[in-house]
Each structure stands twice: as structure tokens, then as C-alpha cells.
A and B are shown apart, each in its own frame.
Chain A
Amino acid sequence: MRPPLQRYRNILDFALSSLLRRKGRNLALISVYTLVVFVIASLVFFVQALKHEAHELLVQAPDMVVQRMVAGRHDPVPLAQVEAIRSIRGVDEVQPRLWGYYYDPVFGGNLTVLATEDAALAPDAIWIGEGVARSMRVKEGDLIPLRGYDGQSTLFSIQKVLPETSELVSSDLVLMAPKDVRALFHFPEGLATDLAIQAGNPRELPTIAAKIVELYPDSRPILKSEILRTYEAVFDWRGGLMVVVLGSAVLSFIIFAWDKATGLSAEERKEIGVLKSLGWESADVLLLKFWEGTVISVTAFLTGVLLAYAHVFFFSASLFEHALKGWSVLFPHFRLSPALDGYQLTVLFFLTVLPYTAATLVPSWRAATVDPDAAMRS
């Protein structure tokens, strides 16, 4: 008998004009709500993006890296070890890696200089990551000077700017010929920074590692799976911290929303009394309050999420820079690539919309049960 759709629309219309009537109060509510969503969403996006970056980084990492330790510190590895390790059963390939960090005093940033045997690299030329090109404001064909260990600058021509796959993987990378790396850093012949090892069967890696330590007691094999675990532990620890932050944000928001929403002013009471005296049922008033709450929470949710997205992915989470500076040890510089999934958004939605809805449930119910004769009394 009652066409339901039109009823929903009529009451939604009225809810919208109701919200507009109390502009000041509702704008304040939406602003605070948006801020809460923004903070929580930023944290969630940020952690998610870091996980994504770390994953990208690790996908390309070798199964195992062997370092040499001298006096508890990382020291170059003699190339003589390559053959001996290659002959261990289960080892597919041993690749000596030659790399180091180059601090650029002009731009104040660290670059990762890595030797490559790629035959396509021209003599005296380098390949650079997009981040390097960006921060140095150089392009293909330009010449850049790099200061060697002795303070002498060497000119390199930029042959290629590497396409960006993941920000962290290639962004701060400078690829050059092994002899140039040795010259730049005064890195002795016959030594490598570390050894990258691939195994045919990853399950044999612990055995291989044990054999390497047996062979060279001063070596330290690092398994990819260990790195993964470390990352995960760090993320989880940070994640735990965030849960605390998140929890308190949600809590303070509930208190705020409670305060804002429970206050059923005398005028509102009377208005609801009027509606009921005009033939609105409790269910209609509830629907009205439901629409009001939904409009507020959906507006705040969408705005907060969009702002957080821009903050994390376009402005590199600049507001968290200080709080989360520790990350820069792991990731020298970054602009995060967008990584989002439906699960995150769903969790976010429930973390923010549900508490608000719960906080407004009781007052809505109280509003709905106002007696119609409240309209008669002033």
C-alpha cells in the first residue's frame, strides 16, 4: 500500500534540508569526523604502501646474500670465495656484487652506486634511476660530475634513465661499469661488496648457509626469508603502535560524536513532536535520523579517504615525516606508489563509520520515541 521507494526519497530530501538548517553544528561534526578518517586512513595507506614497496624490493632480491664480517662490521668479500661457494652442492649461481653509497653534497642525498656487467653500457657512461634524474634535474645525454674518494671529480655521461618499476628498487640507483665503481670508491681489486647466491631448491638454503659458514667462519649468510621475517616483524611492531594511535583516535571520536549527537535540543524534541503529530511514525523518524547520520558519515568518510590518499601518495605522507623518520634508514627516500585494496577500505569503513553509527543510535531512538503531544507544549 505504501510505495517504499518514494518514502525513502522524501525522507532523504527532508534529511538533507534538515542538515542544511543546522549548518554550523553539522559542519563542525563533519570536519572532526573527516580529520579522524584522514589520520586513520593515512596510517593504513602508509603501512600498506610500505609493505608493497618492501615486497617489490624483495621479489628482486637474491635467495641469499653472503657478507663478510670483520670486527663485527660488514667488510668486502675476497673474490677467491666465489669458486669455492659455487662448488657447494645445491648452489646454482654465485654473483659477486659491487656496490656502495654515494653521498651527493650538492643535493644532500644518498645514491646507490651499483656495478653492472651489462654490455649495452657505453664506456664512461652511467644509467640512473628516475629519482636521481629528478633530484639532480638531469636527462639522457647530460654529463654529471661525481666526486671520487680523493676529492677529484669524474664526468659521466648519462646514457639512460631507468624506467620506474618500484620507487625503492630503482629510484636512487646509479649503474656503472665495475672498473668505474672501483675507481670512484677506491675499491680494491679482487674484492666484492657481497655475494648474491641463487639456489635451485630454496629448501636447501639453510644447509648451504651452514656449509658456507663452515668454509668461511667470518662470513654472514643472510637468507631472503630472514629479511622477509625482519621486515614483517618491523611492520608488525609499527602496526601495533598504529593500532594504539588508531584506537585512541577512534575512542576520542566516539566521545566527540556522542557529545555532539546525544544532545537532543528542546527545539529538536519539539520538531520531532510536530512531525509525529502530523502523522510520522517512529520508524519514519528513525529513517530520518538514519539518513542524517549516513549523509554525515559517508561525506566524512569519502573526504577523509581522498585527502589521505593524496597525502600519502602525492605528498609522501609529509605529515608523518617526523613521527616515522625511522623509515628513512630502510628507505633512503621515497615517493610511495599507490597500493590499495578493498579489504583495507572495508576495515577503514568499519573503524570509522561503525563507531559513529553506534554513537548516534541511542539518541536517534530517543528522538523517535518523543511523544507527539510534545508539539502541543511550548
Chain B
Amino acid sequence: MTARRPMLLLALLLAASTLPLAGMAAGQGEANATNPPPAASARVQHEDDENARAEGERRFHANCGRCHQSPHKLPPRMMATIVRHMRVRATITDEDMRLILRYMTQ
């Protein structure tokens, strides 16, 4: 390996490490935008929860058995890590990740 290669690699990795900063700014606004407004009443809240759970279950069945057998539930804080892992590895969409995590931790 010549000395130029590590330098090139370093430059590339540095460039990559600045990308997240730009994304951080973009992502922050978006995360806020997707949060639903507070529900007006407890009943509406309950229906929302039920719908989210059903939708989460549907998305779990559509996605989580695609590459391996559908996994069983694990403790919530581990599930949060693993669903993030699958978000990256399996390119699961952002909405899928949120709804599936909700379903898997209830």
C-alpha cells in the first residue's frame, strides 16, 4: 500500500463524517413534523393506540420475516436497538421502524 491510499481513505471518511451534521439539521425538523399532535381526549388517544398497534402488527408481518424467521419479542430496550439495526441493515422505512418498535414493545 502506498502512503496515498490511507490519505485518500482518511479524506473520504472525514467527508463522510461531515454528512451526518447536515443530516442532523434536516432530520431534526422532520422528526418533529412526523409526531402526531396531542390527542384531544383519552378515547381518541385509545383509538389511536389501537390503530398504531394494528398497523405495527401488519408491518411486522410484512417486513420481519422477509430475510429470517419472524423473531420473538425481546425486552423493550433491546428491541429498540435491534429495530434500529434492522432499519440500517434491512433498509426498513422510518414509519415501519417506529410502528414495529411500538408493536414489539407492547
Whether chain B is bound by chain A comes out as no
